[in-house]
Structure 1
Amino acid sequence: MNTTIILTGIILTIIAGAIVIYNLLVKRRQLVNNGWADIDVQLKRRADLIPSIVTTVQGYARHERQLFEDIAEKRSAALAAGDDPAARGARESELSRPVARMIAVAEDYPELKASQNFLDLQNELSQTEDKIEMARRFYNGAVRELNTLVESFPVNIAAGPFGFSKRDYFEIDTADRAVPSIAETRA
Protein backbone atom coordinates (compact mmCIF):
# COMPACT_ATOMS: atom_id res chain seq x y z
CA MET A 1 0.00 0.00 0.00
CA ASN A 2 2.75 2.47 0.96
CA THR A 3 4.74 1.51 -2.13
CA THR A 4 1.72 2.23 -4.35
CA ILE A 5 1.21 5.64 -2.74
CA ILE A 6 4.90 6.53 -3.13
CA LEU A 7 4.97 5.28 -6.73
CA THR A 8 1.78 7.23 -7.54
CA GLY A 9 3.30 10.34 -5.96
CA ILE A 10 6.47 9.98 -8.04
CA ILE A 11 4.48 9.49 -11.25
CA LEU A 12 2.26 12.50 -10.50
CA THR A 13 5.34 14.61 -9.74
CA ILE A 14 6.94 13.59 -13.05
CA ILE A 15 3.71 14.37 -14.95
CA ALA A 16 3.36 17.74 -13.20
CA GLY A 17 7.01 18.54 -13.96
CA ALA A 18 6.54 17.62 -17.62
CA ILE A 19 3.47 19.88 -17.83
CA VAL A 20 5.33 22.79 -16.26
CA ILE A 21 8.32 22.28 -18.58
CA TYR A 22 6.10 21.99 -21.67
CA ASN A 23 4.16 25.15 -20.81
CA LEU A 24 7.38 27.04 -20.14
CA LEU A 25 8.76 25.98 -23.52
CA VAL A 26 5.51 26.99 -25.26
CA LYS A 27 5.65 30.41 -23.60
CA ARG A 28 9.23 30.98 -24.75
CA ARG A 29 8.46 29.79 -28.29
CA GLN A 30 5.50 32.18 -28.47
CA LEU A 31 7.72 35.08 -27.40
CA VAL A 32 10.17 34.17 -30.17
CA ASN A 33 7.35 33.92 -32.74
CA ASN A 34 5.94 37.25 -31.58
CA GLY A 35 9.37 38.86 -31.84
CA TRP A 36 9.86 37.51 -35.36
CA ALA A 37 6.43 38.82 -36.41
CA ASP A 38 7.42 42.29 -35.17
CA ILE A 39 10.66 42.17 -37.16
CA ASP A 40 8.83 40.96 -40.24
CA VAL A 41 6.33 43.84 -40.07
CA GLN A 42 9.10 46.42 -39.82
CA LEU A 43 11.16 44.82 -42.60
CA LYS A 44 8.10 44.85 -44.87
CA ARG A 45 7.48 48.49 -43.97
CA ARG A 46 11.08 49.26 -44.87
CA ALA A 47 10.75 47.34 -48.15
CA ASP A 48 7.62 49.35 -48.96
CA LEU A 49 9.41 52.65 -48.30
CA ILE A 50 12.39 51.90 -50.51
CA PRO A 51 10.56 52.19 -53.88
CA SER A 52 9.22 55.62 -52.86
CA ILE A 53 12.71 56.82 -51.99
CA VAL A 54 14.13 55.34 -55.20
CA THR A 55 11.46 57.11 -57.26
CA THR A 56 12.19 60.41 -55.55
CA VAL A 57 15.96 60.12 -55.99
CA GLN A 58 15.59 58.84 -59.57
CA GLY A 59 14.01 62.11 -60.59
CA TYR A 60 17.26 63.89 -59.70
CA ALA A 61 19.92 61.26 -60.31
CA ARG A 62 18.89 59.45 -63.51
CA HIS A 63 22.50 58.40 -64.25
CA GLU A 64 22.53 56.12 -61.16
CA ARG A 65 20.63 53.40 -63.06
CA GLN A 66 22.89 50.54 -61.86
CA LEU A 67 22.38 51.58 -58.25
CA PHE A 68 18.58 51.57 -58.66
CA GLU A 69 18.69 48.16 -60.35
CA ASP A 70 20.88 46.84 -57.54
CA ILE A 71 18.38 48.09 -54.96
CA ALA A 72 15.46 46.47 -56.80
CA GLU A 73 17.33 43.15 -57.05
CA LYS A 74 18.41 43.16 -53.39
CA ARG A 75 14.92 44.18 -52.24
CA SER A 76 13.38 41.23 -54.13
CA ALA A 77 15.96 38.86 -52.62
CA ALA A 78 15.25 40.17 -49.11
CA LEU A 79 11.51 39.72 -49.51
CA ALA A 80 12.04 36.21 -50.92
CA ALA A 81 14.25 35.15 -47.98
CA GLY A 82 11.16 34.34 -45.92
CA ASP A 83 11.18 33.45 -42.24
CA ASP A 84 14.70 32.05 -41.90
CA PRO A 85 16.39 34.62 -39.62
CA ALA A 86 19.92 33.86 -40.87
CA ALA A 87 19.00 34.10 -44.56
CA ARG A 88 16.76 37.11 -44.03
CA GLY A 89 19.43 38.94 -42.05
CA ALA A 90 22.02 38.33 -44.76
CA ARG A 91 19.65 39.55 -47.50
CA GLU A 92 18.62 42.61 -45.48
CA SER A 93 22.28 43.50 -44.91
CA GLU A 94 22.89 43.21 -48.65
CA LEU A 95 19.91 45.51 -49.29
CA SER A 96 21.07 48.09 -46.76
CA ARG A 97 24.34 48.74 -48.59
CA PRO A 98 22.88 50.10 -51.87
CA VAL A 99 20.13 51.97 -49.99
CA ALA A 100 22.81 53.70 -47.90
CA ARG A 101 24.69 54.53 -51.12
CA MET A 102 21.49 55.98 -52.59
CA ILE A 103 20.97 58.21 -49.55
CA ALA A 104 24.61 59.31 -49.89
CA VAL A 105 24.04 60.08 -53.60
CA ALA A 106 21.12 62.28 -52.58
CA GLU A 107 23.57 64.45 -50.65
CA ASP A 108 25.03 65.55 -54.02
CA TYR A 109 21.70 67.12 -55.05
CA PRO A 110 20.87 70.19 -52.93
CA GLU A 111 17.40 70.55 -54.44
CA LEU A 112 16.66 66.90 -53.57
CA LYS A 113 17.98 67.35 -50.01
CA ALA A 114 15.64 70.34 -49.69
CA SER A 115 12.63 68.41 -51.03
CA GLN A 116 10.07 67.95 -48.26
CA ASN A 117 8.95 64.64 -49.80
CA PHE A 118 12.52 63.28 -49.68
CA LEU A 119 13.07 64.56 -46.16
CA ASP A 120 9.82 62.93 -45.01
CA LEU A 121 10.74 59.63 -46.65
CA GLN A 122 14.26 59.74 -45.20
CA ASN A 123 12.84 60.47 -41.74
CA GLU A 124 10.32 57.63 -42.05
CA LEU A 125 13.10 55.25 -43.13
CA SER A 126 15.20 56.32 -40.16
CA GLN A 127 12.30 55.70 -37.77
CA THR A 128 11.69 52.30 -39.37
CA GLU A 129 15.35 51.39 -38.93
CA ASP A 130 15.04 52.26 -35.24
CA LYS A 131 11.92 50.07 -34.95
CA ILE A 132 13.72 47.21 -36.67
CA GLU A 133 16.53 47.54 -34.14
CA MET A 134 14.10 47.46 -31.20
CA ALA A 135 12.22 44.48 -32.64
CA ARG A 136 15.53 42.70 -33.29
CA ARG A 137 16.61 43.21 -29.69
CA PHE A 138 13.30 41.83 -28.39
CA TYR A 139 13.45 38.85 -30.74
CA ASN A 140 17.08 38.03 -29.94
CA GLY A 141 16.33 38.29 -26.21
CA ALA A 142 13.43 35.87 -26.59
CA VAL A 143 15.64 33.53 -28.66
CA ARG A 144 18.34 33.70 -25.98
CA GLU A 145 15.81 32.73 -23.29
CA LEU A 146 14.38 29.87 -25.39
CA ASN A 147 17.84 28.56 -26.33
CA THR A 148 19.01 28.71 -22.72
CA LEU A 149 15.92 26.85 -21.59
CA VAL A 150 16.22 24.21 -24.34
CA GLU A 151 19.85 23.55 -23.38
CA SER A 152 19.31 23.56 -19.59
CA PHE A 153 18.90 20.43 -17.51
CA PRO A 154 16.31 18.91 -16.99
CA VAL A 155 14.38 20.78 -19.69
CA ASN A 156 16.79 19.55 -22.38
CA ILE A 157 15.60 16.01 -21.72
CA ALA A 158 11.99 16.94 -22.56
CA ALA A 159 12.59 19.65 -25.20
CA GLY A 160 13.53 17.30 -28.06
CA PRO A 161 10.64 14.86 -27.63
CA PHE A 162 8.22 17.80 -27.29
CA GLY A 163 9.54 19.22 -30.58
CA PHE A 164 11.40 22.24 -29.22
CA SER A 165 14.82 23.21 -30.51
CA LYS A 166 17.18 26.17 -30.55
CA ARG A 167 16.34 29.11 -32.82
CA ASP A 168 18.66 31.35 -34.82
CA TYR A 169 19.34 34.94 -33.85
CA PHE A 170 18.48 37.72 -36.30
CA GLU A 171 21.44 39.87 -37.22
CA ILE A 172 21.81 42.79 -39.60
CA ASP A 173 25.18 44.51 -39.67
CA THR A 174 24.59 47.83 -37.93
CA ALA A 175 27.30 49.29 -40.15
CA ASP A 176 25.02 48.51 -43.09
CA ARG A 177 21.91 50.27 -41.84
CA ALA A 178 20.06 52.00 -44.65
CA VAL A 179 20.32 55.50 -43.21
CA PRO A 180 23.96 56.61 -42.98
CA SER A 181 25.11 59.25 -40.59
CA ILE A 182 25.99 62.69 -41.90
CA ALA A 183 29.70 61.89 -41.50
CA GLU A 184 29.35 58.82 -43.73
CA THR A 185 27.62 60.71 -46.52
CA ARG A 186 30.34 63.37 -46.70
CA ALA A 187 33.22 60.91 -46.74
Structure 2
Amino acid sequence: MLIYFILGLVAVLIVFGVLIYNRLVSRSQMADNGWSDIDVQLKRRANLIPQLVSTVQGYASHERELFADVAEKRARALAAGDDLASRGAAESALSQPVARLMAVAEDYPEMKASGNFLELQKELADTEDKIEMARRFYNGAVRELNTSVQSFPANLLASPLGFRQRAYFEVDMPDRALPHIDMGGAS
Protein backbone atom coordinates (compact mmCIF):
# COMPACT_ATOMS: atom_id res chain seq x y z
CA MET A 1 0.00 0.00 0.00
CA LEU A 2 2.86 2.37 0.79
CA ILE A 3 4.38 1.71 -2.62
CA TYR A 4 1.13 2.84 -4.32
CA PHE A 5 1.11 5.99 -2.24
CA ILE A 6 4.72 6.76 -3.19
CA LEU A 7 4.06 6.01 -6.88
CA GLY A 8 0.95 8.20 -6.77
CA LEU A 9 2.89 11.02 -5.15
CA VAL A 10 5.66 10.72 -7.77
CA ALA A 11 3.05 10.75 -10.55
CA VAL A 12 1.42 13.89 -9.10
CA LEU A 13 4.81 15.59 -8.82
CA ILE A 14 5.65 14.69 -12.42
CA VAL A 15 2.30 16.00 -13.70
CA PHE A 16 2.73 19.14 -11.59
CA GLY A 17 6.27 19.61 -12.99
CA VAL A 18 5.04 19.18 -16.57
CA LEU A 19 2.27 21.75 -16.00
CA ILE A 20 4.76 24.26 -14.59
CA TYR A 21 7.17 23.62 -17.46
CA ASN A 22 4.44 24.08 -20.07
CA ARG A 23 3.31 27.33 -18.46
CA LEU A 24 6.88 28.64 -18.48
CA VAL A 25 7.32 27.63 -22.15
CA SER A 26 4.04 29.32 -23.06
CA ARG A 27 5.00 32.56 -21.34
CA SER A 28 8.48 32.48 -22.83
CA GLN A 29 6.98 32.05 -26.30
CA MET A 30 4.64 35.00 -25.71
CA ALA A 31 7.64 37.16 -24.80
CA ASP A 32 9.49 35.96 -27.92
CA ASN A 33 6.43 36.78 -30.01
CA GLY A 34 6.21 40.23 -28.45
CA TRP A 35 9.86 40.96 -29.16
CA SER A 36 9.40 39.81 -32.76
CA ASP A 37 6.51 42.27 -33.18
CA ILE A 38 8.63 45.12 -31.81
CA ASP A 39 11.52 44.17 -34.07
CA VAL A 40 9.29 44.17 -37.17
CA GLN A 41 7.96 47.64 -36.39
CA LEU A 42 11.42 49.03 -35.59
CA LYS A 43 12.68 47.71 -38.93
CA ARG A 44 9.68 49.26 -40.67
CA ARG A 45 10.51 52.60 -39.08
CA ALA A 46 14.17 52.22 -40.05
CA ASN A 47 13.07 51.62 -43.65
CA LEU A 48 10.85 54.72 -43.67
CA ILE A 49 13.57 57.03 -42.36
CA PRO A 50 15.72 57.11 -45.54
CA GLN A 51 12.62 58.00 -47.58
CA LEU A 52 11.79 60.78 -45.14
CA VAL A 53 15.37 62.08 -45.20
CA SER A 54 15.34 62.04 -49.00
CA THR A 55 12.09 63.99 -49.14
CA VAL A 56 13.22 66.60 -46.63
CA GLN A 57 16.66 66.82 -48.26
CA GLY A 58 15.05 68.02 -51.46
CA TYR A 59 13.67 71.05 -49.63
CA ALA A 60 16.27 71.64 -46.92
CA SER A 61 19.63 70.69 -48.38
CA HIS A 62 21.45 72.96 -45.88
CA GLU A 63 20.49 70.57 -43.02
CA ARG A 64 23.40 68.21 -43.82
CA GLU A 65 24.39 67.81 -40.15
CA LEU A 66 20.89 66.69 -39.23
CA PHE A 67 20.80 64.20 -42.12
CA ALA A 68 24.17 62.78 -41.07
CA ASP A 69 22.95 62.51 -37.46
CA VAL A 70 19.84 60.63 -38.56
CA ALA A 71 21.87 58.25 -40.73
CA GLU A 72 24.40 57.57 -37.95
CA LYS A 73 21.79 56.93 -35.27
CA ARG A 74 19.74 54.75 -37.63
CA ALA A 75 22.83 52.63 -38.27
CA ARG A 76 23.44 52.32 -34.50
CA ALA A 77 19.83 51.27 -33.91
CA LEU A 78 20.03 48.63 -36.62
CA ALA A 79 23.35 47.36 -35.22
CA ALA A 80 22.06 47.16 -31.61
CA GLY A 81 20.46 43.77 -32.25
CA ASP A 82 18.41 42.02 -29.56
CA ASP A 83 20.16 43.44 -26.48
CA LEU A 84 17.19 45.29 -24.99
CA ALA A 85 19.17 47.89 -23.06
CA SER A 86 21.32 48.94 -26.01
CA ARG A 87 18.43 48.64 -28.47
CA GLY A 88 16.20 50.83 -26.31
CA ALA A 89 18.96 53.44 -25.92
CA ALA A 90 19.70 53.37 -29.65
CA GLU A 91 16.03 53.72 -30.58
CA SER A 92 15.62 56.62 -28.14
CA ALA A 93 18.68 58.29 -29.62
CA LEU A 94 17.27 57.80 -33.13
CA SER A 95 13.93 59.31 -32.18
CA GLN A 96 15.53 62.65 -31.31
CA PRO A 97 16.94 63.54 -34.75
CA VAL A 98 13.87 62.08 -36.49
CA ALA A 99 11.69 64.43 -34.44
CA ARG A 100 14.02 67.32 -35.38
CA LEU A 101 13.77 66.25 -39.02
CA MET A 102 9.98 66.39 -38.82
CA ALA A 103 10.23 69.82 -37.21
CA VAL A 104 12.30 71.09 -40.16
CA ALA A 105 9.17 70.63 -42.25
CA GLU A 106 7.58 73.53 -40.35
CA ASP A 107 9.87 75.90 -42.28
CA TYR A 108 8.80 74.56 -45.69
CA PRO A 109 5.08 75.03 -46.43
CA GLU A 110 5.47 73.54 -49.92
CA MET A 111 6.94 70.37 -48.39
CA LYS A 112 4.13 70.15 -45.83
CA ALA A 113 1.70 70.18 -48.77
CA SER A 114 3.61 67.48 -50.65
CA GLY A 115 1.64 64.25 -50.93
CA ASN A 116 4.82 62.20 -50.58
CA PHE A 117 5.79 63.94 -47.35
CA LEU A 118 2.27 63.70 -45.94
CA GLU A 119 2.15 59.96 -46.69
CA LEU A 120 5.56 59.41 -45.09
CA GLN A 121 4.55 61.41 -42.04
CA LYS A 122 1.34 59.38 -41.73
CA GLU A 123 3.21 56.07 -42.09
CA LEU A 124 5.82 57.12 -39.54
CA ALA A 125 3.15 58.15 -37.03
CA ASP A 126 1.29 54.86 -37.65
CA THR A 127 4.52 52.92 -37.16
CA GLU A 128 5.25 54.75 -33.90
CA ASP A 129 1.78 53.76 -32.66
CA LYS A 130 2.41 50.14 -33.64
CA ILE A 131 5.78 50.18 -31.88
CA GLU A 132 4.08 51.42 -28.73
CA MET A 133 1.41 48.70 -28.92
CA ALA A 134 4.02 46.00 -29.57
CA ARG A 135 6.15 47.32 -26.69
CA ARG A 136 3.19 47.16 -24.33
CA PHE A 137 2.37 43.60 -25.43
CA TYR A 138 6.00 42.52 -25.02
CA ASN A 139 6.35 44.14 -21.60
CA GLY A 140 3.10 42.46 -20.47
CA ALA A 141 4.37 39.08 -21.67
CA VAL A 142 7.70 39.69 -19.91
CA ARG A 143 5.85 40.65 -16.72
CA GLU A 144 3.92 37.36 -16.84
CA LEU A 145 7.09 35.36 -17.54
CA ASN A 146 9.06 37.12 -14.80
CA THR A 147 6.23 36.58 -12.31
CA SER A 148 6.16 32.87 -13.16
CA VAL A 149 9.95 32.55 -12.92
CA GLN A 150 9.93 34.20 -9.48
CA SER A 151 6.82 32.52 -8.05
CA PHE A 152 6.89 29.44 -5.86
CA PRO A 153 6.96 26.54 -6.80
CA ALA A 154 7.81 27.42 -10.43
CA ASN A 155 10.98 29.16 -9.26
CA LEU A 156 12.30 25.76 -8.14
CA LEU A 157 12.11 24.46 -11.71
CA ALA A 158 12.62 27.63 -13.77
CA SER A 159 16.35 28.10 -13.30
CA PRO A 160 17.37 24.45 -13.75
CA LEU A 161 15.22 24.28 -16.89
CA GLY A 162 16.85 27.41 -18.34
CA PHE A 163 14.09 29.96 -17.82
CA ARG A 164 15.36 33.38 -16.79
CA GLN A 165 13.82 36.74 -16.15
CA ARG A 166 13.84 39.09 -19.12
CA ALA A 167 14.34 42.81 -19.31
CA TYR A 168 11.54 45.15 -20.25
CA PHE A 169 11.88 47.13 -23.48
CA GLU A 170 12.15 50.71 -22.33
CA VAL A 171 12.11 53.72 -24.63
CA ASP A 172 12.30 57.22 -23.25
CA MET A 173 8.78 58.40 -24.15
CA PRO A 174 9.40 62.17 -24.32
CA ASP A 175 12.22 61.55 -26.79
CA ARG A 176 10.13 59.46 -29.13
CA ALA A 177 7.18 61.81 -29.37
CA LEU A 178 6.85 63.32 -32.83
CA PRO A 179 6.20 67.04 -32.96
CA HIS A 180 2.74 68.18 -33.92
CA ILE A 181 2.83 69.64 -37.41
CA ASP A 182 -0.02 71.96 -38.34
CA MET A 183 -1.01 71.24 -41.94
CA GLY A 184 -2.62 74.64 -42.31
CA GLY A 185 -6.33 74.66 -41.74
CA ALA A 186 -6.80 71.15 -40.43
CA SER A 187 -9.15 71.35 -37.46
Question: TM-score, length-normalised on structure 1?
Answer: 0.95
- Asked whether the equivalents of residues 125 and 179 of structure 1 are also in contact (C-alpha less than 8 Å), the reply is no
Amino acid at match of 1:118: F
1:134 is matched with which residue? 133
Task: Structure 1 unaligned segments of length 5 or more: list them.
Answer: none
Distance, in Å, in 2 between the alignment partners of 1:43 and 1:166 is: 23
Distance, in Å, in 2 between the alignment partners of 1:182 and 1:105 is: 10
2:29 is matched with which residue? 30
2:162 is matched with which residue? 163
1:120 is matched with which residue? 119
What is the CA deviation profile of residues 70-111 of structure 1, one whole-angstrom value per residue up to 9, with x for unaligned ones?
A: 000000000011112221111000000000001001111111
2:174 is matched with which residue? 175
Amino acid at match of 2:117: F
Distance, in Å, in 2 between the alignment partners of 1:100 and 1:119 is: 15
- Asked whether the equivalents of residues 106 and 181 of structure 2 are also in contact (C-alpha less than 8 Å), the reply is no
Correspondences of 1:48-63 after superposition (within 5 Å): 48-63=47-62
Distance, in Å, in 2 between the alignment partners of 1:10 and 1:138 is: 38
1:100 is matched with which residue? 99
2:85 is matched with which residue? 86
- Asked whether the equivalents of residues 71 and 99 of structure 1 are also in contact (C-alpha less than 8 Å), the reply is yes
Amino acid at match of 1:66: E
Correspondences of 1:37-48 after superposition (within 5 Å): 37-48=36-47
What SS does the aligned partner of 2:178 have? Answer: coil
* Post-superposition offset of 1:3: 1.2
Task: Structure 2 unaligned segments of length 5 or more: list them.
Answer: 183-187
Distance, in Å, in 2 between the alignment partners of 1:175 and 1:75 is: 18
Amino acid at match of 1:122: Q
RMSD: 1.0
- Asked whether the equivalents of residues 99 and 178 of structure 1 are also in contact (C-alpha less than 8 Å), the reply is no
Distance, in Å, in 1 between the alignment partners of 2:89 and 2:152 is: 33
Distance, in Å, in 2 between the alignment partners of 1:178 and 1:149 is: 33
2:185 is matched with which residue? none
* Post-superposition offset of 1:178: 5.5
- Asked whether the equivalents of residues 31 and 141 of structure 2 are also in contact (C-alpha less than 8 Å), the reply is yes
Residues 171-180 or 28-37, more deviating: 171-180
Distance, in Å, in 2 between the alignment partners of 1:179 and 1:99 is: 8
* Post-superposition offset of 1:60: 0.8
Distance, in Å, in 2 between the alignment partners of 1:175 and 1:182 is: 16
